[in-house]
Structure 1
Amino acid sequence: MSLPYVELSFGVIGQTLPADHGYGLYSAIAHLCPQIHEQEELSIQTISGKPDGQGKIELSRQSKLRIRLPYEPAQIALVLPLAGQQLTIGNHRIQLSIPQIFPLYPVDKLRSRIVTIKKFQEPEPFKEAAQRQLDALGIQGNLILPLNEDGEPARKAIKIKTYSVVGFSLVITDLSDEDSIKLQQFGLGGKHRMGCGVFTSFPRAWRFYDA
């Protein structure tokens, strides 16, 4: 029987971050917690903030660093050294608080800001590949590619060192409680430690064309 997953939520104190900070955040965390490189089951969500329209986000009291991992003392101990630390991401600095630990809870509709599946960079083939991954996990749900302001599937990209990885925003609806938890645990696609393929509930004021 697999272990239940939990989410460690660190408060974030700072002014701004790059809007595309998944790789930089992972690098900063790995610098303090090098063993995180081997943690395949761990995922790191990008930090939320208000887009400034110029490639940055403005942080607020609601901004959190969320790390999702199995509820296993040795694994949790690997990321606890982050508590109270300062992270440098590019020329931005943030301070982390002591984390709170939350269980995952089921909701029937989940979304991921960006899902990346290697070799699938066009909407229809990508959607089919995502469906195959859902089927492999035994998850039943209705898969939707949200549209941007131009009525096109919301293509996203994250920069990793010198290259960009392309993906799409993804929404899965009509999930059972069991499948909702499973999707939150395992995600879809790759780069989960850089904020990709991690599924969360909808923010209250959510719009399809978010940052």
Structure 2
Amino acid sequence: MNFLEIQFQLRGKTLPADHGYALYSAVKQAVQNAGEPLTFSGNIPADVRLCSISGIPDKDGMIYLHRGSRLRLRCPVDQVQLWYQLMQNQVLDIRGHLIRLVQPQLTLPQASETLKARLVTFKLEAIDHPDVPYYFLESCKKGLNRLEINAQASIDSTPEGDLARRTLQVKEKKILGYGVVVEGLSDQDSLKLQWYGLGGRQHFGCGWFYPVREDADAA
């Protein structure tokens, strides 16, 4: 479980607020265009995690990039050099919004007793049933148990005090999820959760956990 995070500063102005799938598609296109010496067969490996990009929302489905906006990628240490070279100075087209990745930095993951994820998704039978939060938390609990992590998961709330219910657009389908807080983590389990995440669609930015102190940058 030795992994590092690469953070790329951005040159650009705006992005769609819901850009997780489009970001994945743009990175996948960069991999396919690179050809050799990459050994990924034109796909992003399963053990690579992408985080959606933070920004200032305009309440109309867009975000404005700011000085702290970053593209963040976690990968095994033996892939760092490949991703560093591939993505540096790369221009990504995210649904017509162009961003350039510059000045990459490598960071070590930091353990924290409490972690948050902006969006976690599971395969739920229905998304408008009143019991969905219950089944969602049951899925979180099962996910933590599979990872042998002893901690407590809860659904996060918005600044207005509502449940942090969010959706991810993948092609023509909207996928329901929630913001999640996990508390009571040991250092080892904190790093494990940051690596393995919870739920699906992790190539699209879902299940990306970060220390609570980063919360201000995790729009």
- Aligned partner of 2:134 among 110, 121, 124: 124
Amino acid at match of 1:91: G
Query: Aligned partners of 1:57 and 1:38: how far apart in 2?
Result: 25
- Aligned partner of 1:137 among 147, 153, 156: 147
SS at match of 2:5: strand
Deviation at 1:41, TM superposition (A): 1.1
Deviation at 1:205, TM superposition (A): 6.2
Query: Aligned partners of 1:64 and 1:149: how far apart in 2?
Result: 23
- Aligned partner of 2:111 among 103, 106, 109: 106
Which stretches in structure 2 are left out of the alignment for 5+ residues?
33-39
Query: Aligned partners of 1:178 and 1:202: how far apart in 2?
Result: 17
Amino acid at match of 1:158: L
- Aligned partner of 1:167 among 160, 177, 182: 177
Amino acid at match of 2:207: G
More moved, 97-106 vs 110-119: 97-106
Residue 183 (structure 1) aligns with: 193
SS at match of 1:9: strand
Query: Aligned partners of 1:79 and 1:161: how far apart in 2?
Result: 28
Residue 11 (structure 1) aligns with: 9
Query: Aligned partners of 2:91 and 2:123: how far apart in 1?
Result: 33
Q: 1:110, 1:202 within 8 Å by CA — same for their partners in 2?
A: yes
Query: Aligned partners of 1:76 and 1:155: how far apart in 2?
Result: 37
TM-score (norm 2): 0.87
Asked if residue 85 in structure 1 is aligned to residue 93 in structure 2, the reply is no
Deviation at 1:171, TM superposition (A): 0.5
Residue 53 (structure 1) aligns with: 59
SS at match of 2:138: helix
Deviation at 1:40, TM superposition (A): 0.8
Deviation at 1:98, TM superposition (A): 3.5
Query: Aligned partners of 1:127 and 1:39: how far apart in 2?
Result: 28
Residue 28 (structure 1) aligns with: 26
Query: Aligned partners of 1:178 and 1:103: how far apart in 2?
Result: 14
Amino acid at match of 2:96: N
Q: 2:50, 2:74 within 8 Å by CA — same for their partners in 1?
A: yes
Asked if residue 70 in structure 1 is aligned to residue 80 in structure 2, the reply is no
Q: 1:33, 1:78 within 8 Å by CA — same for their partners in 2?
A: no
Q: 2:31, 2:44 within 8 Å by CA — same for their partners in 1?
A: no
Residue 40 (structure 1) aligns with: 46
Change (3 A) 1:115 1:70: same
Amino acid at match of 1:33: V
More moved, 176-185 vs 28-37: 28-37
Q: 1:12, 1:96 within 8 Å by CA — same for their partners in 2?
A: yes
Percentage identity across paired residues of the two chains: 34
